[in-house]
């Protein structure tokens, strides 16, 4: 087996192993194979490059023989095959060009195999390092459950669907927060009227359905300290509760709408530290909404930012030693961590200092 085939086989095996990896140790075992690999960690494609050269020359010669001649060889082939010289030239050049194009795209694809595998490994590492895992239920069931507690999910009059849902745990200094990360796709349908001129030259008014597709991202956090409060910065007025409340901060009131099940609940929630904290969170996120479910289902923090679980690639498998260390240390999700820290601050502001630091969903579910 030549070097390229050996490397390709190892990448294929590693790609499959990455899909079924259950923890960081599994990922390290995969990367370890690349660390121990004796050959070069890049494809050479020697035979492919030689074939490309041969077929490129063949195509050029065949076309030159036709357009600069026809040369004698082409005339001879035309007589032998019973076609015109031009057809004979294309019979040779056509497949040659196809072969060259196909081989070049094969090489280009091969060049991406190692970076793609590295990215898949880093993605899995980011999930393991941050305690993110698959949810236990189907996305449809999860959506139904979320819609019962949070009106922020009542988006899209045509269709709504969870594209990605992960569950995780964040260990803060005082509290352990269990959460779901939800990526919701929703589609709004509206009718648009327009005018056009028909074949008789008359202007007619017609209507058509227009579908606008959106994404909304959210963290649903187990948050037993506040209930029946909504803080809104976008146009999702459905989350507003019975009593709207103006805080003492004009900056807050001009950016956010605070409402609650009672004026007292709003007043208790709108502590000065919370008002300033929410203002700073709003500055960091695009169109954030906070919905503290009245039924105790927790906090739904939704926003338009799509980079919450993005990470920076710590190099790739072309430098397997450094990549091994990065996977061993775990890939950070800085945006997610920052946001969970901000939620933890909110928890500290609203917990009871005279009760032991606690409740996690896991503990309560058990």
Min dist CB 174 to other proteins, Å, is 9
Provide the token pair at 112.
Answer: 């991406």
Residue whose CB is less far from other proteins, 246 or 312 = 246
Min dist CB 251 to other proteins, Å, is 6
- 322 φ/ψ angles, rounded to the nearest 5 degrees: -65, -35
Nearest residue to 347 via CA among 148, 173, 183, 182: 173
Min dist CB 239 to other proteins, Å, is 24
Residues in contact with other proteins by CB under 8 A are: 248-251, 271-273, 275-276, 348-349, 353-354
Residue whose CB is less far from other proteins, 205 or 250 = 250
Q: Is the separation of the CB atoms in 177 and 223 below 8 Å?
A: yes
Provide the token pair at 85.
Answer: 């010289």
Nearest residue to 219 via CA among 281, 283, 159, 291: 291
Strands (E) in 156-287, as ranges, are 159-171, 176-197, 203-221, 229-232, 243-245, 257-260
For 23-74, the DSSP string reads SHHHHHHHHHHHHH--S-SS---HHHHHHHHHHHHHHHHHHHHHHS---HHH
**Which 3 state secondary structure label does DSSP give 317?**
coil
Min dist CB 265 to other proteins, Å, is 17
Residue whose CB is less far from other proteins, 136 or 173 = 173
Residue whose CB is less far from other proteins, 249 or 261 = 249
Residue whose CB is less far from other proteins, 75 or 249 = 249
For 99-131, the DSSP string reads HHHHHHHHHHHHHHHHHHHHHHHHHHHHHHHTT
Min dist CB 353 to other proteins, Å, is 4
Exposed, middle or buried, 279 (CB in 10 Å: 0-12/13-18/19+)? middle
Residue whose CB is less far from other proteins, 263 or 276 = 276
Min dist CB 258 to other proteins, Å, is 14
Residue whose CB is less far from other proteins, 271 or 284 = 271
Min dist CB 180 to other proteins, Å, is 29
């Amino acid at each position: 087996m030549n070097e390229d085939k050996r490397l390709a086989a190892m990448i294929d095996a590693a790609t499959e192993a990455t899909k079924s990896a259950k923890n960081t140790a599994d990922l390290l075992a995969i990367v370890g194979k690349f660390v121990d690999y004796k050959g070069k960690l890049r494809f050479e494609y020697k035979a492919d490059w030689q074939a490309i050269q041969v077929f490129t020359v063949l195509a050029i010669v065949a076309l030159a023989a036709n357009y600069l001649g026809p040369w004698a060889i082409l005339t001879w082939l035309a007589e032998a095959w019973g076609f015109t010289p031009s057809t004979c030239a294309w019979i040779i050049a056509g497949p040659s060009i196809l072969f060259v194009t196909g081989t070049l795209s094969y090489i280009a694809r091969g060049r991406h195999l190692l970076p793609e595998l590295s990215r898949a490994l880093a993605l899995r590492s980011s999930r393991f390092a941050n305690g993110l895992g698959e949810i236990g239920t189907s996305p449809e069931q999860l959506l139904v459950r979320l819609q019962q507690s949070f009106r922020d999910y009542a988006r899209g009059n045509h269709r709504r669907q969870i594209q990605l849902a992960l569950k995780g745990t964040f260990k803060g200094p005082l509290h352990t927060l269990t959460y779901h990360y939800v990526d919701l796709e929703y589609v709004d349908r509206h009718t648009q009227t327009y005018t056009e001129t028909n074949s008789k030259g008359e202007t007619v008014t017609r209507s058509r359905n227009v579908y606008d597709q959106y994404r909304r991202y959210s963290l649903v956090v187990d948050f037993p300290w506040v209930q029946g409060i909504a803080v809104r910065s976008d146009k999702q007025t459905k989350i507003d509760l019975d009593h709207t409340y103006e805080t003492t901060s004009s900056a807050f009131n001009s950016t956010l709408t605070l409402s609650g099940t009672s004026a007292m609940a709003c007043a208790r929630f709108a502590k000065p530290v919370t008002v300033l904290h929410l203002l700073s969170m709003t500055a960091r996120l695009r169109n954030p909404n906070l919905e503290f479910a009245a039924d105790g289902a927790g906090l739904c923090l939704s926003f338009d930012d799509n980079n919450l679980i993005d990470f920076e690639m710590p190099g790739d498998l072309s430098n397997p030693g450094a990549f091994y260390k990065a996977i061993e240390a775990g890939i950070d999700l800085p945006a997610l961590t920052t946001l969970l820290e901000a939620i933890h601050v909110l928890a500290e502001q609203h917990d009871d200092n005279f009760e032991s630091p606690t409740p996690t969903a896991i503990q309560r579910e058990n």
